Amino acid sequence: MRYFAFVIILLSVFNPAFSKDPSSALIDTLEIIKLNQAGYEHRLIDPNQTLAYGKKALQLSKKANYLNGIAEAYRIIGIGSSYHNQNEIAIESYLNSLSYFQKNGNKEGEAKVYNNIGNLYISVDFDKSLEYFQKSLKIARELQIKGLIAGLNLNIGTVYQKKHLFNQALKSYQESFANFSEIGNSTGVTQCLQNIGVAYFKLNLIKDSENYLKQAINKAKENDLNFVVAGSNLTLSSVYIAKGDFQAAQKSIDEGIAYSRIIQDSRLEYDFTFTLFELENRKKNYKGALGYLKQIYTQDSLTYKNNESTKLTLRDKQYRQQAKQLENERIILEQKYTKTLFWAISAVTALAFFAIFLLIRNNRKSNKTNKQLIRLNQEVLQQKEDLDRINQSLEEIIDERTRDLKIKNNKLSEYSSHLSHQIRGPVATIKGLLILETDNLIEHEELVEQLQVCIQDIDNKILNINETLNNSSKHSLHSE
């Protein structure tokens, strides 16, 4: 009992879960989950809020030693950083998140991070991006995570679109739309509407594209999804340019640029600059178009350099993180091996002592058993000698009884012969009387009289034989 109390005291000193009130730990965990969730929900509204929520959740998670909370907080920080085009910070956060999720055996979290890394590569390396999405989709399907499956179909569609495989992209978007509709995710449905509109525009289905993009903008405004409003206006302005409605195109561009500045997305602002060039070119305002073209050329060079730098940075960070993870795993394996070796030696030593103890105990037990066996063997030998004597006596008795039985059998044979000889005469007389009776040569009264004489004679002879036998038996008994 004292030992148990000592263990409890040690746990309370060294384990944070024991050193603080359990209800307080539960409150911290719930607060961390809420902060991470709020950070994720703000990604399309205000990435600054996403980063703030993620950092606060990370601080509380580390304080509470809540591994899933730490992993998810790193993921949220990565998402916020990616929306600010801070790819180096984003990849580092994602890799930290992945490490914690793997350490805690959280396959769902691992799948989400693979999805996020795929999004990070989506503008710089399509094949690498698709590789991560497929890796995430495999886990999501194994675990039946419907929301993640829906999001991955959306992202895979975007990769196909960037690779100019528009029909495949549209198929993925429509599948994602069905997934999001099934689980009632309005944000996902809104993003699908935007992407379907873009796919239809690329396929030159202008009317369908305009319809889906307008639906996306209306739903995005209802839910404060600023990224979707900006992105949808970008494509919608191109739709209006294609239709020749320059006034509507300018209105869409102005609204899109305003929302891009709210969310501080420089990539979208660059895309709107290119759209403004297209608009001025279609309006035959070549001077204005040339001004936008210069901006685009400058930004294209910078973007290309940034993309190549981002690609190299992402891969470099990954290789470093993987090398670090392999080194950590090697150290952990060495520690496990040393620990296992120690316990194996301890176990073998303990077993050796136990075996020696058993051998000594068995030896003593064997000596004791041998003494008992010797004593029992002597008793058995004595009993065997007694049985031999008894058997010898029995054999003598049996021989004597056998001789007596033979004598008696001989006498019985003699008596039997004598009896058959003595009775044969009266029986023959009776048979003769019966023959005379049959032939009516004797009177009935005389027959009866003669029969009585014969019967009396037989009876007397039987009595004499019985008496003789009885006397013989008594004589035999007396002789014994």
Model pLDDT for residues 112-148, shown as the tens digit of each residue: 999 999 988 887 788 888 999 999 999 999 999 999 9
| Range name among 243-247, 254-258, 303-307, 449-453 with the lowest pLDDT average | 303-307
Rounded to the nearest 5°, which phi and psi values hold at 40?
A: -65, -40
Q: For residue 393, give both structure tokens.
A: 């006596």
Instruction: Spell out the domain ranges in the chain.
Output: 407-479
Task: Round the average pLDDT of the chain to a whole number and report it.
Answer: 81
Query: DSSP letters along 361-378, please?
Result: HHHHHHHHHHHHHHHHHH
Residue 131: predicted pLDDT = 92
Q: Which residues, including other chains, have CB under 8 Å from residue 240's CB and lie 6 or more apart?
A: 246, 248, 249, 252
Q: Which of 99-113, 180-194, 466-480 has the lowest mean pLDDT?
A: 466-480
Dist CA 244 CA 251 (whole Å): 13
pLDDT digits (tens, 9 = 90+) for 361-398: 888 888 888 888 888 888 888 888 878 788 787 877 88
What is the rounded distance in angstroms from the CA atom of residue 459 to the CA atom of residue 455?
6
In Å, the largest CA–CA distance within the chain is 180
The continuous run of DSSP H or E covering 410 comes out as: helix 286-438
Alpha helix segments (H runs only) across 104-145: 107-121, 126-143
Mean pLDDT of 260-284: 83
| Residue 122 main-chain phi, psi, to 5 deg | -60, -25
Q: Which range among 142-156, 426-440, 449-463 has the greatest average pLDDT?
A: 142-156
Q: Quick one: pLDDT at residue 117?
A: 92
As given in the structure block, the two tokens for residue 350 are 């303990």
SS3 category, 109: helix
b/e burial code for range 167-194 (CB count within 10 A of at least 16 → b): ebbbbbbbbbbebbeeeebebbbbbbbb
CB 136 within 8 A of CB 114: yes
Q: Is 436 exposed, middle or buried (0-12, 13-18, 19+ CB in 10 A)?
A: middle
Cβ neighbourhood burial of 441 (10 Å; 0-12, 13-18, 19+) = exposed
Question: Which residue did the predictor score with more confidence, 221 or 306?
Answer: 221
Q: Is 106 helix (H, G, I), strand (E, B) or coil?
A: coil
Q: Tell me which residue has tokens 């910070």.
A: 89
Query: What count of Cα atoms within 13 Å lies in the side-chain half-sphere of residue 443?
Result: 3
Nearest alpha carbon to residue 82 among 300, 266, 357: 266
The mean pLDDT of 325-352, rounded to a whole number, is: 70
Q: Which residues have C-beta within 8 Å of that of residue 25, sequence separation ≥ 6?
A: 16, 17, 64
What whole-number distance in Å separates Cα of residue 154 and Cα of residue 171? 10
- Say how far apart CA 333 and CA 340 lie, in whole Å: 10
Reply yes or no on whether the pLDDT at 278 is more than 50: yes
- CB-based contacts of 89: which residues, under 8 Å, 6+ apart? 77, 78, 81
| Contact call for residues 94 and 120 (beta carbons, < 8 A) | yes
What distance in Å separates the CA atoms of residue 209 and residue 26, rounded to the nearest whole number?
49
Residue that has been written with the tokens 């179909």 in this structure = 153
Q: List C-alpha distances in Å: 445 to 180, 441, 451, 452.
A: 135, 12, 10, 11
What is the C-alpha separation between 34 and 44, in angstroms, rounded?
17
pLDDT band at 437 (very low <50, low <70, confident <90, very high): confident
- Whole-prediction pTM: 0.55
Answer yes or no: are the C-beta atoms of 325 and 99 closer than 8 Å: yes
**What is the rounded (10 degree) CA torsion for 208, 209, 210, 213?**
120
Side chain identity at residue 219, one-letter code: K
